[in-house]
Homo-oligomer: A and B are copies of this chain.
Amino acid sequence: MRHDGRRADELRPVRIERGFTEYAEGSVLVSFGRTRVLCTASVEESVPPFLKGTGQGWVTAEYGMLPRATHTRTPREAAKGKQGGRTLEIQRLIGRSLRAVVDLAALGERQVVLDCDVLQADGGTRTAAITGAWVALADACDALVARGVLEASPVRDQVAAVSVGLVEGEVLLDLDYAEDSSCDTDMNVVMTGAGGFVELQGTAEHGAFDRGALEALLALAEKGIGELLAAQRESRA
């Protein structure tokens, strides 16, 4: 039994609220328990310089955290004048994860920007962001189809993410902040609807982990991601 009453292999309550804001082509407030991330998808009729004239599109992400998303206030990155390493690392991860399931040629020479802003942070913000951003992205692509810009959505598959960890020898699914802070190994897993791995990032916070632990962590992640993929489908049904 975990400190919040969950079983080891249990996700926190997942909530995917579409249309949370009105202007973005896709807008999703995703919650993994207390972690709440607003994911908006913005379609722009331009691409980064390295794609100009190629006919190919791009999907990218930016990540931010409101200063008081956290237990104690974190200084605002805009006021500090730069984004931290953690922020850059996470937004690169979100972008790569989404691009893995989009046919960029089919998107055409335009860009979809996913802004993932954490309103409240209780662990797992990056995995919630990927899971929610996919829904926003899919909605934005559907809107392009509905407006007649594209014939079919360039989104080829779902993608979702979850964290798993080793806490005092036990394998846990979807760590909250308290568990994340005390775990020995922490792994973020990103998988497609078809069951393939897109990203795997495991870190031994204390000591190291072995092949057996890795197997157990991956099995748990697969279970969790299966449920998240279902939640994504349900939200768009």
Contact with B along A193-236 (1 / 0, CB 8 A): 01111111111101111110010001000000000000000000
Rounded to whole angstroms, the CA-CA distance of A208 and B78 in the bound complex is: 32
Q: Which residues of B contact A199 (CB under 8 A)?
A: 202-204
Residues of A within 8 A of B (CB): 21-24, 27, 34, 36, 38, 40, 42, 44, 62, 64, 66-73, 76-79, 81-89, 91-92, 96, 100, 113, 115, 117, 119-120, 187, 191-192, 194-204, 206-211, 214, 218
Q: Which residues of B contact A24 (CB under 8 A)?
A: 68
Cβ contact of A120, chosen from B22, B72, B191, cutoff 8 A: B22
Rounded to whole angstroms, the CA-CA distance of A82 and B203 in the bound complex is: 26
Copies in the complex: 6
Say yes or no: B23 contacts A120, CB within 8 Å.
Answer: yes
Cβ contact of A21, chosen from B76, B79, B120, cutoff 8 A: B120
